[in-house]
């Protein structure tokens, strides 16, 4: 999935300005296998599941050990890389604390999984209670909580109403932890939701309850977060798989290993793919986790959420730069027209320009509005009294694209000047690509 956002420039200029954007100096991840970038690849940290741990060393040797079609990167690693940052696990030199199997505030689906609340507490303890204000945080958790209570509802251990209450409490636990992180200084926090439009009726009900409690709870606590609509992304992709290069009805990209029937992407390697290109042609690696291609889609989407405000700010910034140059062309022609004729007479002139416009931005943020072109034509009359009267018309166009193909814009501008009065109009068309 790619998001395209756009901008446009018109007349001509090569000036540079500054677009407002946050410069991140660290990526920090918390959560479950949807964020985990390979915690269990460090074999000193086993999952605690005997079957998985027995197969994990061989999987790691062959490129596995992360919940996707290994050795492909997961979305958290890709997102971090877009800003030139390290998305590796915290037990392997990075600052991604997520562990597969984690639940929000209780024992995980893997016995050794660290709960998301504990991950955040461990980070704050190690940092002296101060969160990095210049870090980009990704907190994806709750899927294992929902699965736990779905199983209990299906086994008639609890009622559906009790299941809704339980997942709501799990979401509230995560809200509490994120609120603490925010109070400690975290300012840029991405929080994905659960795929509430998918699964059985019970899964959809519990996921919906979880999502509503999570995002509304954060808002009620005054946490300024970036909501990542994973459910919406998944809906868009699955509704038109072929447009994303996926095989419809192709199933998981990996074959389930012996003894593990669900959530087995951790053990997925090129040797277990159903086809050599399955990492790119199948959306899911197993029954829960995205393939390499699916991870790229999610990372691209979340990147677009972060940089979109900066890209939109260029819509106003670019015309400021281009219009200054456009008007200068007309103004600079006045002394030329005065010098090149006698005491009076008519004059017509034509001027064209092509230039490069680049707006300074923070690392990882788009900064390349493109190449504006323009054409200006004028007519003036020099009077015996040395007065100069005339009319000038200028048109300009710019097709701009952002880095990583995340969108662009087209700007058309029309200016005219008569005597000392200048009027300009800019029409900006934002280009985007649907999910």
pTM above 0.85, yes or no: no
pLDDT tens, 96-114?
999 999 999 999 999 999 9
pLDDT at 404 over 70: no
Distance in angstroms between the alpha carbons of the first and the last residue of the chain: 5
Beta strands 373-382 and 388-401, pairing class: antiparallel
Whole-number pLDDT of residue 348: 79
Helix segments in 239-368, DSSP class H: 278-281, 292-339
- Are residues 250 and 281 in contact, defined by beta-carbon separation less than 8 angstroms? yes
**Distance from C-alpha of 237 to C-alpha of 294, rounded to nearest angstrom:** 9
Q: Where are the domains of the chain?
A: 26-308, 314-431
Whole-number pLDDT of residue 216: 98
pLDDT tens, 293-341?
999 999 999 998 998 776 666 666 666 666 666 666 666 777 776 666 6
Using DSSP's 3-state secondary structure scheme, residue 229 falls into: coil
- Are residues 324 and 357 in contact, defined by beta-carbon separation less than 8 angstroms? no
**Distance from C-alpha of 288 to C-alpha of 252, rounded to nearest angstrom:** 9
Beta strands 188-192 and 226-228, pairing class: parallel
Query: Strands across the sheet with 388-401, in order?
Result: 345-354, 373-382, 388-401, 408-418, 421-431
pLDDT tens, 207-239?
999 999 999 999 999 999 999 999 999 999 999
Angle at 148 between CA 145 and CA 154, to 5 degrees: 140
Q: How many CB atoms lie within 10 A of CB 210?
A: 28
Per-chain mean pLDDT for the chain: 84
pLDDT at 268 over 60: yes
The backbone region for 206, taken as left when phi is positive above 0, alpha when psi lies in -120 to 50, beta otherwise, is alpha
Could you tell me the two tokens for 347? 């004059």
Q: State which fold the 26-308 domain adopts.
A: Rossmann fold (3.40.50)
Spatial CB neighbours of 184, under 8 Å, sequence gap ≥ 6: 124, 127, 129, 130, 131
Identify the bridge partners of residue 418 per DSSP, sorted by sequence position.
391, 421
């Amino acid at each position: 999935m790619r998001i395209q956002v756009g901008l446009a420039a018109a007349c001509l200029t090569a000036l540079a300005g500054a677009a407002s954007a946050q410069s991140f100096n660290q990526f920090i991840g918390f959560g479950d296998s949807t964020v985990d970038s390979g915690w269990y690849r460090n074999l000193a940290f086993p999952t605690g599941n005997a079957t998985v741990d027995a197969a994990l060393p061989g999987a790691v040797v062959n490129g596995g050990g992360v919940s996707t079609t290994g050795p492909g990167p997961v979305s958290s690693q890709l997102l971090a890389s877009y800003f030139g940052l390290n998305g590796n696990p915290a037990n392997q030199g990075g600052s991604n604390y997520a562990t597969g199997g984690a639940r929000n505030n209780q024992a995980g689906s893997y016995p050794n999984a660290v709960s998301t609340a504990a991950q955040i507490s461990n980070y704050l303890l190690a940092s002296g209670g101060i969160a990095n204000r210049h870090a980009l945080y990704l907190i994806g958790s709750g899927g294992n909580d929902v699965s736990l209570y779905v199983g209990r509802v299906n086994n008639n251990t609890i009622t559906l109403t009790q299941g809704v209450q339980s997942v709501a409490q799990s979401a509230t636990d995560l809200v509490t932890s994120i609120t603490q992180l925010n109070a400690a200084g975290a300012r840029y926090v991405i929080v994905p939701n659960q795929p509430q439009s998918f699964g059985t009726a019970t899964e959809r009900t519990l996921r919906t309850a979880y999502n509503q409690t999570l995002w509304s709870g954060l808002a009620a606590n005054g946490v300024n977060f970036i909501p990542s609509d994973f459910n919406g992304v998944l809906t868009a992709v699955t509704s038109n798989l072929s447009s994303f290069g996926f095989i419809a009805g192709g199933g998981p990209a990996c074959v389930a290993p012996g003894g593990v029937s669900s959530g087995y992407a951790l053990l997925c390697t090129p040797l277990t793919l159903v086809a050599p290109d399955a990492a790119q042609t199948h959306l899911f690696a197993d029954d829960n986790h995205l393939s390499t291609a699916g991870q790229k889609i999610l990372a691209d989407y979340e990147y677009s959420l972060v940089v979109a405000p900066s890209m939109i700010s260029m819509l106003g910034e670019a015309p400021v730069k281009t219009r200054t140059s456009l008007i200068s062309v007309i103004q600079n022609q006045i002394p030329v027209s005065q010098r090149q004729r006698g005491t009076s007479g008519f004059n017509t002139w034509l001027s064209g320009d092509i230039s490069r416009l680049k707006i300074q931005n923070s690392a990882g943020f788009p900064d390349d509005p493109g190449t504006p072109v323009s054409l200006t034509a004028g007519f003036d009359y020099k009077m015996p009294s040395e007065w100069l009267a005339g009319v000038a018309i200028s048109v300009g166009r710019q097709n701009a694209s952002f880095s990583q193909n995340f969108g662009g814009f087209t700007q058309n501008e029309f200016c005219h000047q008569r005597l000392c009065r200048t009027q300009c109009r800019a029409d900006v068309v934002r280009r985007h690509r649907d999910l």
